[in-house]
Structure 1
Amino acid sequence: MQKIAIVFGFAAVLAGCATASKDIPATYHSPLAYQSYDCTQLQMETERIRSRVAQLGGRLDEAASNDKKLAGVGAVLFWPALFALGGNKQQEAEYATLKGQHDAIEQAQIAKKCGVATPAVSTTS
């Protein structure tokens, strides 16, 4: 019975780990929010979002990697260290929002026939 409790406890702690950027889905944003933008403004907004996504994605991926390492060490050597796991949910929410905004801008560019192909926001680092 004790082994089952340990397994469930360990699984619960791991569920609180930081999420890698590639595993964070985009939140929906309407392209109508960018209806008043011209093609130049849409491109500038895309670049701003890409810069922030790269910065935030690196932090999230590093936190996820560190949590996995800490979980392995904590499970074997020092189980109270498992309580230090957990990502920054605010950063994860911001990342999902940025991905959604990028998708909306891309749709607005297509609707306006801007002719600028903008690669999707990278979900891997």
Structure 2
Amino acid sequence: MKPVVILLAAVALAGCASRASDINASYVSPLTYQNLTCSQLQEEAARVSNRAAIAVGAQNERATRDAVATGVSIVLFWPALFFVRGDGPQAAELARLKGEMDAIEQASIAKNCGIRFEREPPPAAPAPVARDA
């Protein structure tokens, strides 16, 4: 019975949606933005940033729903695995938006516009545990 539970857990976790911070940027050429002025780049940065914030929220919500469905399926009711959806169009859109943010920053650097996006900080390392000698 234990190997079956482990197998179900592995299959379910493989299909779970990724957290937004785990999705890598797709490549977007900075040439797309080379003809824009600094003010136009600023407007585009605000637009992309707003859409990315919405996409991050949606992706994290999807990841949370998948994690809950996986937990329920492993512990209580295996048909709940059918509610695990994994990454989909939302993840692809988020990857594209992250790529656009990178491209806008590169165009901004080339033009000395000073546009920078705040990124999610990397996960903190666990604090060291003090042990008595």
Q: TM-score, normalised by structure 1?
A: 0.87
Q: Which moved more, 1:39-48 or 1:83-92?
A: 83-92
**How many residues are paired up?**
122
The match for 2:41 is 42
State the structure with bigger RCO (CA 8 A, min sep 6), 1 or 2. Answer: 1
The match for 1:58 is 57
CA contact (8 A) 1:102 1:121 kept: no
Give the gaps of 5 or more residues in structure 1. none
Cα distance in 1 for partners of 2:37, 2:77 equals 56
CA contact (8 A) 1:27 1:97 kept: yes
**RMSD of equivalent CA atoms:** 1.8
CA contact (8 A) 1:53 1:121 kept: no
Give the gaps of 5 or more residues in structure 2. 123-133
CA contact (8 A) 1:46 1:105 kept: yes
Aligned-pair identity in percent equals 46
The match for 1:24 is 23
Report the structure number with the largest CA radius of gyration: 2
Q: CA deviation at 1:88?
A: 4.4
Q: Which moved more, 1:99-108 or 1:69-78?
A: 69-78
Q: TM-score, normalised by structure 2?
A: 0.83
**If each structure's helix is expressed as a fraction of its own residues, which one has the higher value?**
1
Closer/same/farther in 2, CA of residues 59 and 123 from structure 1, 3 Å limit: farther
Aligned ranges 1:9-20 → 2 under 5 Å: 9-20=8-19
The match for 1:70 is 69
